Amino acid sequence: MILKDLLSGVDVLKLTSVAEREITGVTNDSRKVKPGNIFVAVPGYVEDGAKYIDMAVEAGAVAVVSESMRDVPVDHVLVKDARRALSAIAANFYGRPSEQMTVVGITGTNGKTTTTYILKDLIERCIGAPCGLIGTNEVIIGDEVSEASRTTPESVEIQAYLSSMLNKGIKYAVMEVSSHALKLHRVDNVRFEVGVFTNLSQDHLDFHDSMEDYLDSKVLLFKMCRRGVINLDDSAAEYIINNSDCEILSFSTEDLSADVVARNIRYSPSSVEFEALGVEEIYRAELEIPGKFSVYNGLASIATATVLGVPLVEAAGALKHCRGVKGRAEVVPTGRDFTIIIDYAHTPDGLENILLTLKEFTKGRLITVFGAGGNRDRKKRPLMGQTVERYSDICIVTSDNPRSEEPRAIIADILEGMSDKEKQVIIPDRVEAIGYAIKHAEKGDVILLAGKGHETYQEINGKKNHMDEREIVRSFLSLGDS
C-alpha cells in the first residue's frame, strides 16, 4: 500500500515524504520493524517511542510518524497525536476489516471474558456463522488459537486479527474492550455494531486519574458503536445511557422496565436458572456456571444476541449448551472431600462476587488464597483484604504478580484493610500458600485460589516464571497420596 493511502483520516501537520512510497507493514515497536515498514513513534508512559526512531530506520523503516520533527534519512510524517495516527494507519493498511464485519465490544470491570465466550457460542449456535474472539485469555480465529498479550491488544494487532478473520470468511467477532484501549485510541478505527456494558467497580486507578475518568473511558465505546446493551442494575448505567450516542437496549435482574429481565432465579453449586423476559417473549434459561454474576453474564449475552437478530427464546434456550471459561469459577478435580476453585477475581467487586457464590454451597469453611498485583492500583489492596476477610473463614494472604514491587510491601497494603488476625495466614510464596491451604483443608471445605485465573505464570521483576495453579494443586494432592 502506498503512503498517501495509509494517511487517510490522519491529522497530518507536515509531510516530508514521497507520498507514493510503497509501505510493506506498520508497527510501533522498533524491534519488529522490517524493511519497507512505516514506524509510528508513540509516546509511552514509561518511554517515548521517538527514542527508537534511529533504531527503526536502521532496521529498514522507510517512513516515520512522530509528534515532533526529526532529522531522519527517510520519509517523515509529523502528526498531532501519534496514537490516533497509529490506529488510523493500521486500519487503512489492513483494509478496514471491521467495516465488513459485525463486531461486538464488551466493556466493564468484571464479566468481560466470560461474556465474550458465551456470546461467541450463541452466535455460532443461533446464527450459524463462525465468530472470532479477542480477549484476555486468548485470540481465537477459526481453528487457530493464540495467547493474548493483554485484554485489548494494540491497534495494529487488532486490525491484523480482524483482517485474518475476514480472510478466513469469519464475519462476526467479539472482543473485550478495556478502558486502557478506549483511552489510548486502540479501538478508534474499529466499527462496533454493538457495545456491551457489564458493570463498573474500582480498578485501574494506577492508570486513570479517578473513578470518573475510568467511567468516562468506558463511555467512549458507546459513542462509537451503533447499538448499546447496558446493565441497568449498575449504578453507572444512567450516566452511560445519558452520555451515549447510540440506540440502547437494557437488561436487569431488578428493574422490570428493562428490555430483557431475569426473574425467578435459582442457584445451584454448578449452574444458574432464570426466566428470561423480553417485551413479548419468555423462556426458562440455564447456564452451567454458578453464581449471581453468571446470571448477568448470561443475560448480557442473551440481550446482545437479540440485538443481532436472534429471537429471545432461541438465545435463552441455547444458553444451556455454553460452557465456562478457564480460570473463571473453574473447579479443579481433587478426588477428595473438599473443593478447589480457581478464579481470576482481582478486584474488591470481583472477589465479592465469587466469594458470595461459593458461600451459597460451602458446607465447611471457605479458605481464600489471594494477593494483589504489583505496580497496579494500590488503593484497592486494603479493600480486597477487607472483602476477603468478610466472607472467608481463613484468609491466606500471598503474592499475585508482584512485578517489580516487594511482595511483603504489597501484603502490608492488603493487611491494612483486615482486622481479624485469627483468620489471617501470611505466606508470601504463592506455591507454599496453596500447599498450606490443601494441607489444612477438611471435609466440606472450599478453597478459592483467587487472582491468577487463566494465567500460567507469575511475573517477578520483569520475568514471567511458569506457574500453573492446576499443576501445583495436582502436585500437592499427589504428595498426600504417597
78 and 200 belong to one structural domain? no
Where among 93, 122, 143 does a domain terminate? 93
Q: How far is CA 282 from CA 258, 302, 315, in A?
A: 14, 12, 11
Cα end-to-end distance, the chain, whole Å = 64
Sorting pLDDT into bands at 50, 70 and 90, what band is 212?
confident
201 and 120 belong to one structural domain? yes
Once rounded to an integer, what is the mean pLDDT over residues 211-239? 92
Q: 368-418: per-residue pLDDT in tens?
A: 999 999 999 899 999 999 999 999 999 999 999 999 999 999 999 999 999
158 and 289 belong to one structural domain? yes
286 and 416 belong to one structural domain? no
Predicted pLDDT of residue 247: 96
Q: Which three cell numbers stand for residue 80?
A: 498531532
Q: 419-432: per-residue pLDDT in tens?
A: 999 999 999 999 99
User: Which domain does 66 fall in, by range?
Assistant: 3-93
- Provide the number of structural domains found in the chain: 3
Predicted pLDDT of residue 207: 54
pTM above 0.85, yes or no: no
pLDDT at 191 over 60: yes
Predicted pLDDT of residue 204: 47
CATH assignment of the domain containing 245:
3.40.1190.10
Predicted pLDDT of residue 18: 66
250 and 156 belong to one structural domain? yes
225-231 vs 247-252, strand pairing mode = parallel
Sorting pLDDT into bands at 50, 70 and 90, what band is 102?
very high
**In DSSP terms, which residues pair with 266 in a beta bridge?**
273
Residues 6+ apart with CB under 8 A from 47: none
Identify whether the C-beta of residue 413 lies closer than 8 Å to the C-beta of residue 374. no
Once rounded to an integer, what is the mean pLDDT over residues 101-119? 94
Provide the percentage of residues in the chain whose pLDDT is more than 90. Answer: 78
Out of 196-210, 228-242, 427-441, least confident range: 196-210
pLDDT at 293 over 50: yes
Q: 299-310: per-residue pLDDT in tens?
A: 999 999 999 999
Predicted pLDDT of residue 111: 87
pLDDT at 209 over 70: no
Residue with cell 465447611: 364
253 and 303 belong to one structural domain? yes
